[in-house]
A and B are shown apart, each in its own frame.
Chain A
Amino acid sequence: MTRMTQKRSPDDWIDGLLDDIARTPVDQPSTDLMARILADALAEQPAPGGVASSRGWRKGLWALGGWASLSGLVAATVVGFAVGLGGVLDAGLLAIDASWTESSYYQDALNANGWYLEDG
């Protein structure tokens, strides 16, 4: 139990409480957790050379030629519909959101994690 021997402010005990928590030893992560994390890392890791992520449709998109091909694919999709040839295109391509970019993925990830600090 922590005893406050020198009282400077009624709220000084908070410093003691926080420091007591910090000093309390924390268990190391289990070897099983470390193995799961490493397995995740390897499963998510792009192929050597940094060509692709293993994530679902992104992988498919890269296989189709990468981001440079996206605008062409979208344009082709629109034109294909316009002339009644939409069925020729792979249905999977139609799911691609043309507004999505590498940059927006990065921003989404950061925003989702509260990267931008709220006021306080």
Chain B
Amino acid sequence: MTRMPLDCELDGTDEADLLARYARGDAAAARALTVQLAPRAHAQAMRMLGDRAEAEDITQEAMMRLWRVAPDWRAGEAKVSTWLYRVVANLCTDRLRRRKGRGVALDDVAEPPDPSPGAEARLLTTARRTAVAQALANLPERQRLAVMLRHFEGASNPEIADRLDISVEAVESLTARGKRALAAALRGQKAALGYETG
């Protein structure tokens, strides 16, 4: 196992600088980018997919795309972490759409009985993640990203506007429309997801 200390020498270095260093053959930059970006990509994929194995596949694939685009990266045109966020979101969306195409429904997820403490809570968490992920996958990309950045990343509207290169007003509109669409899609599952009706 390769050791990747969190306090590596390049920790805190700007991601675009790290990517440029990586493209110049700096192995320490490869390590720093992995430590900085892979856990975030994995957490995002876990929230969208709720499945560890699939989240790991998506994380590795997204990071691979980053390595491959690195030599051609044009600094200043996009923020590396935002680019990766969008890659992960799109890969997860593709995965969710394929799941849906295969007919995997909410009721099919996490059915094996688990008598361990907290099993019910875990099932509920999985059900929520799965339902929201499927509903998010059906949103237009900008709505999906605005909602995810706002709620999953805790980004403010100005931060989202900056990351997506749109106005704050557009962020507000996208977030509102996205959540209305989610509510419409999930209304029938409200009680099953642990939210009281009424």
Enumerate chain A interface residues (CB-CB to B < 8 A). 1-4, 10-11, 13-22, 24, 26-42, 44-50, 53, 55, 102-103, 105-106, 109-110, 113-115, 117-120
Chain A residues, CB < 8 A from B177: 120
State in angstroms the CA–CA spacing of A37 and B142 once bound together: 28
- Are B72 and A24 in contact, with the CB atoms below 8 A? no
Tally inter-chain residue pairs, CB-CB below 8 A. Answer: 171
Smallest Cβ-Cβ distance to B30: which chain A residue = A41
Distance in Å: Cβ of A5 to nearest Cβ of chain B: 10
CB contacts under 8 Å to A, within B31-88, are: 31, 33-35, 38-39, 42-43, 46-47, 52, 56, 59-60, 63-65, 67-74, 78, 83, 86-87
Most buried by B among A20, A37, A105: A37
Distance in Å: Cβ of A15 to nearest Cβ of chain B: 7
- Are B195 and A4 in contact, with the CB atoms below 8 A? yes
Given contacts A26-B46, A29-B42, contact A37 B2 (CB under 8 A): no
Given contacts A117-B142, A120-B142, contact A20 B68 (CB under 8 A): no
Partner of A119, one of B1, B39, B132, B140: B140
Tell me the count of chain B residues lying within 8 A, CB to CB, of chain A: 70
Chain A residues, CB < 8 A from B147: 18
Given contacts A14-B182, A21-B132, A28-B39, contact A118 B141 (CB under 8 A): yes
